[in-house]
Amino acid sequence: MARLDDRSTRRDRFHKKAKKEGFLARAVYKLEEIDTKHQVLHAGDRVLDLGCAPGSWLQYARGVVGESGMLVGLDRGPLQKPPPGARIVVGDVATIAVSELLGELPAFDVVLSDMAPDTTGIRQLDQARSEVLFERALEIAMTTLAPGGNFVGKLFQGPDFKRLTEVVRSKFGAMKIAKPASSRQISIEQYVVGKGFRAERSGER
């Protein structure tokens, strides 16, 4: 019972903090910690946020990239409170055209993904679905990132965790694994950070 109480306290603390500071969700503190440690976002960046609802990651990104930065978010439905200046694309990440995400932009400097499957409680199934979402996010990142760009993607620990992180390592100058303090300790979620995208065919951009 003590462990359950600890989780509730942790959840309440970050939830209350987000509400007090005007953020749409407690998940903002995961990105804040990752960015503080790994410097994935910079002023003026063009940012794509996959699975962006309810919008707290876009809120945080706006604070870092400033008014000169460009924000694009994708989710299955419209946001109730989209951050100012963000272009929200409604669609399915599995089928969305990359051209629709880019719009008039030639490339993104950062691709973020906090996507997670609708969990079933069946560990192996949830892991497999997370891996599919992560692979798709990474595919979009490798298609849309400018040379030297950065990537952050959520991935549940499972059978393909090592394989997928090695793919990131092979495509970026540096790969790190992050477990933010605001993630519940029993959660199998991890965040894979790729910095310095190695574009294979720069002529595409």
Q: Which of 30, 154, 171, 195 is catalytic?
A: 154
Strand-pair category, 189-197 with 172-178: antiparallel
CB 52 within 8 A of CB 81: no
Beta strands, E only, 79-182? 86-90, 108-113, 145-156, 172-178
Q: How far is CA 18 from the centre of its chain?
A: 18
154 is catalytic: yes
Contacts made by residues 157-161, CB under 8 angstroms, sequence distance 24+? 157/127, 157/188, 157/189, 157/190, 158/124, 158/127, 158/128, 158/130, 158/131, 158/188, 159/127, 160/127, 160/131, 161/131, 161/190
Which residues belong to the active site?
154
